[in-house]
Structure 1
């Protein structure tokens, strides 16, 4: 069989997909030929923001120390916070000495940093090594595994079998007659993953009945309101949750959410009328999943969205409501909350055959701070499993012949082991996030009662489970095959 075009092809150039590219490069010493395909023609400011915590940063440091240094140095270090009732009554104030970020850095050796989605995307793209090629404006239409059936095309067809017995995956992109071939395909294409539907065919994520609004603003603009500067502010209660948090590059994001049932009780239209909804492409763009900017359309939809969020959050503290009211409508994103329920998770959530699925495409979770952190873990362990398989093939008699980094490797076995290792940990974190989310919207919820009712020892044990992971640098796997084999017992 002819050598494939790439050892690994990654669909999706968000932070999840780009971290996989970095991980494969580190684990192979640059020997892995990687291509990243992204549907948007250019990177533009979009998406909201997120927080990187100890487990995600530990994985990122293991992936690429240089990127880790930039991420921790250039992101916003979260050191102050305020927790309030929905009307603004302060329940607790955390300064630089008492904020949980101090415990995180003391116990697990990493800061607590927040980033704008597109800022981190650009940083990861800028740092891509020479063995990784980035292809923008490439829209995936279908995929097929040689030796298996055709996988489902763009919008229809059968469930397909991208996980057949073949050793090459073929990718068909819009506007190209010749398919791209790869030994492994990684789906990092977000909530509505086309790769997942082609490989597994298990349908879209579930709508949990929550309305959400997001916006990203310049911090200078936010400074004009009576809101603590540079501090995270959480307001909770009465079935409402509002969060304000600083991001990289002097930006700030706000997020508001409430159950759809509450909107119905208030007489607020939900879901929005079709003409007021962003299309899937636009929504993916806004959330950081791909697509172009639609400024005029976004403004019209944003005006209607602002009306709804203000109606839903009438009891919110005055400074926060004033901030929402003053926000440019074109930057307000309105959407439902979609997740993959923890109880439905199986190993196939992470792919099938020679198709691996990572990040939101694999484990869309309630926004409690673990989505991208788990994606970095996915990337680290995926690269590690493939590197060990590559090393075993090269160390075997007759190994090391031309054919690519994965030539002769037990790719199917490596991916199956990776899926089996990821499932228990990810499903447990997802279940915890679901319980947190359900508690946050109770009518009597406050920032004190909303978290799961756990005793101090339980909290300590849980934090250790989530944040206390330790990994070795992936670059250590790029040594001679024998040396790599000696390190194969490292826990997955």
Structure 2
């Protein structure tokens, strides 16, 4: 099987790239390791920014579809300190512009998939490695033994990218913060008092060395992320029995003893989803020399702390790469070089800001520092 452009990874970045390329008459095939679109849940909410993620959807001809899934009320925000003192509350008027609305990750994927022909995505293809061809391009090797040939290989395969080693030896590293993901299902019905405390959007509580963030999902679930300023081995040494959800919830609630009652009540109200998430990142400002026939987008290129920018940068990467290739179809190497130069310059300051926000979230005076950050922006 041969194709001019192969995209490894069917997340928002990879699918956006395929969509914009096809709008410009350039065929591309996405290889996705999941066996089908319904193979697993897609995670929580994403806030799409007007000048990045939303811009990509507009130029992909999907603005109407975006508005159909956007939750403007998801822009609401509440910031508290660990005593429960409300430091900042932003409620979004019904007629407010959609600057950073929330969308369900699964809904966004459905929109992007629906914009592509069925043969644009090959499911069940877990990429393993690529070998260069004498005349240029690569042969792709997949876990099921199949292969494909391409002129340009785009790694859109996330934090643990298998394409990245073709262009750089850089690897993600732990930066001293660990998250635990939990969730309260159908919160308006099961815990209306907690639903009222969280509000319609994002709820942040910060205290010395720890944080809790809660986020409304479109299906009525509230996802919780407990943040800890702890070393990489903390999950193995903290004594929380993550393999026993009921005991894990109780142990995690104890780690927040002395915090506002709503915080520990939220933790105890969660279901059996308890997922440890060590946080890693790539070096800020990572670059690599031009590598014939290969490039990266999204987390594969610039994995950064989770502060609302990752998906936006991935989708903007996809747009900029597609436009560069469409503008110079006779010289894809030059197009890729221009894209990479722009991407390196654009994403480095964004990654620096994400590091700063994540450090604030678990700082001793994190609540006050975050308040100052929001007031300055």
- The bucket for the TM-score relative to the shorter chain is 0.7 to 0.9
User: Does 2:325 match 1:380?
Assistant: no
Match of 1:341 in 2: 283
**Count of aligned residue pairs for this structure pair:** 371
SS at match of 2:174: strand
Aligned partners of 2:131 and 2:138 also within 8 Å? yes
Aligned partners of 1:342 and 1:427 also within 8 Å? yes
SS at match of 2:214: strand
Residue 48 of structure 1 deviates from its aligned partner by: 3.0
Residue 304 of structure 1 deviates from its aligned partner by: 6.2
Aligned partners of 1:347 and 1:423 also within 8 Å? no
Task: Output the CA distance in 2 between the equivalents of 1:355 and 1:302.
Answer: 43
User: Does 2:233 match 1:237?
Assistant: no
Aligned partners of 1:219 and 1:251 also within 8 Å? yes
Match of 2:130 in 1: 143
Out of 91, 100, 108, the position equivalent to 1:95 is: 91
Task: Output the CA distance in 2 between the equivalents of 1:231 and 1:377.
Answer: 24
Aligned partners of 2:194 and 2:266 also within 8 Å? no
Quote the RMSD (CA, aligned, Å).
Answer: 2.9
Match of 1:204 in 2: 171
Cα deviation 1:47-93 (Å, max 9, x = unaligned): 23321122224422343222x32223213222432211122211122
Match of 1:271 in 2: 235
| Distance change in 2, residues 1:49/1:213 (3 Å) | farther
| Distance change in 2, residues 1:419/1:231 (3 Å) | closer
Residue 112 of structure 1 deviates from its aligned partner by: 2.2
Aligned partners of 1:215 and 1:254 also within 8 Å? yes
Out of 19, 25, 29, the position equivalent to 1:35 is: 29
Out of 141, 144, 160, the position equivalent to 1:192 is: 160
Cα deviation 1:365-411 (Å, max 9, x = unaligned): 11111110111110100000100111xxxxxxxxxxxxxxxxxx211
Q: TM-score, normalised by structure 1?
A: 0.69
Aligned partners of 1:14 and 1:188 also within 8 Å? yes
Residue 441 of structure 1 deviates from its aligned partner by: 1.7
Match of 2:357 in 1: 436
Match of 1:55 in 2: 51
User: Does 2:7 match 1:16?
Assistant: no
User: Does 2:341 match 1:420?
Assistant: yes
SS at match of 2:194: coil
Residue 301 of structure 1 deviates from its aligned partner by: 5.8
Cα deviation 1:96-121 (Å, max 9, x = unaligned): 34x9x94xx3xxxx442213333322
Instruction: Give the greater-gyration-radius structure (CA).
Output: 1
Residue 453 of structure 1 deviates from its aligned partner by: 6.0
User: Does 2:37 match 1:116?
Assistant: no
SS at match of 1:176: coil
SS at match of 2:342: helix
Task: Output the CA distance in 1 between the equivalents of 2:65 and 2:219.
Answer: 13
Match of 1:86 in 2: 82
Q: Which runs of 4 or more aligned residues in structure 1 lie more than 4 Å from their structure 2 counterparts after TM superposition? A: 301-305, 451-456
When structure 1 is superposed on structure 2, of 374-383 and 248-257 the one drifting more is 248-257
Aligned partners of 2:8 and 2:14 also within 8 Å? yes
SS at match of 2:139: strand
Cα deviation 1:2-50 (Å, max 9, x = unaligned): xx72121111111121111112112x2xx32221111111232142332
Match of 1:153 in 2: none
Aligned partners of 1:85 and 1:236 also within 8 Å? yes
| Distance change in 2, residues 1:47/1:189 (3 Å) | same
Task: Output the CA distance in 2 between the equivalents of 1:123 and 1:304.
Answer: 39
Aligned partners of 1:75 and 1:247 also within 8 Å? no
List alignment gaps of at least 5 residues for structure 2. none
| Distance change in 2, residues 1:48/1:314 (3 Å) | farther
Task: Output the CA distance in 2 between the equivalents of 1:55 and 1:169.
Answer: 34
Cα deviation 1:219-259 (Å, max 9, x = unaligned): 44564343324232111121222111222344332211111
Match of 1:246 in 2: 216
List alignment gaps of at least 5 residues for structure 1. 148-165, 278-298, 391-408, 460-492
Aligned partners of 2:20 and 2:60 also within 8 Å? yes
Task: Output the CA distance in 2 between the equivalents of 1:231 and 1:317.
Answer: 19
| Distance change in 2, residues 1:254/1:453 (3 Å) | closer
Residue 423 of structure 1 deviates from its aligned partner by: 0.7
Q: TM-score, normalised by structure 2?
A: 0.88
Match of 2:328 in 1: 389
Residue 429 of structure 1 deviates from its aligned partner by: 0.8
User: Does 2:139 match 1:170?
Assistant: yes
Aligned partners of 2:53 and 2:311 also within 8 Å? no
Aligned partners of 1:347 and 1:420 also within 8 Å? no
Match of 2:294 in 1: 355
